[in-house]
Amino acid sequence: MSTTDEPAVSAGGCRPREVLDIVGDKWSLLVVRHLRDGPRRFTELKRGIDGISQRMLTVTLRSLERDGILTRTVHNVMPPNVSYELTPMGATLREATAHLLRWSSEHLALIDAARAEYDARTAQPGQLS
């Protein structure tokens, strides 16, 4: 038995990596974050997630729905509309990733400074990589 909190990896593959691939793409966590306060319509998500295209939002929502992270509800009104909401499993994902998203926001300025320093250092002629 391992003394760490990391899940065991079988010889046949790395199942935890499959899950990390699902939630670790560029947009999934942002979608989950925007659903934290309840159901949202597609247009609300599109407006709230800076830089996401309509196609990529559609692909991300379908993937999260397939994996049981959110539900899609079609409302029979005129005109029809669709809303998305986190499932109970999706809510636990939101809780688990809230610290990572907060850390990202809090350290953005430091990351920008580190990148600028690195780029300046590596752009100088005669420097070894």
Question: What pLDDT, on a 0 to 100 scale, did the predictor assign at position 104?
Answer: 87
Question: What pLDDT, on a 0 to 100 scale, did the predictor assign at position 2?
Answer: 46
The one-letter code for the residue type at 37 is D
Looking up tokens 């509309």 gives 81
Cα gap 79→35, rounded to integer Å = 23
| Partners of residue 73 on adjacent β-strands | 83
Question: Has residue 83 been placed in a domain?
Answer: yes
Question: Has residue 34 been placed in a domain?
Answer: yes
Question: What pLDDT, on a 0 to 100 scale, did the predictor assign at position 123?
Answer: 85
Q: What range defines the domain where residue 53 resides?
A: 15-96
Question: Has residue 128 been placed in a domain?
Answer: no
108-122 residue pLDDT tens: 999 999 999 999 988
DSSP code of 39?
-
Cα gap 72→102, rounded to integer Å = 27
Tell me the CA end-to-end span of the chain in Å, nearest whole number: 41
Q: How many domains does the chain have?
A: 1
CATH of the domain at 83: 1.10.10.10
Cα gap 93→43, rounded to integer Å = 23
Question: Has residue 108 been placed in a domain?
Answer: no
Looking up tokens 């949202």 gives 40
Contact yes or no for 75/81 (Cβ under 8 A)? yes
What pTM did the predictor assign?
0.75
Question: What pLDDT, on a 0 to 100 scale, did the predictor assign at position 128?
Answer: 58
Question: Has residue 118 been placed in a domain?
Answer: no
2-48 residue pLDDT tens: 445 555 555 456 788 877 887 788 899 999 999 999 999 999 999 99
Question: Has residue 116 been placed in a domain?
Answer: no
Neighbouring CB atoms inside 10 A of 71's CB total 14
71-103 residue pLDDT tens: 999 998 988 889 999 999 999 999 988 888 889
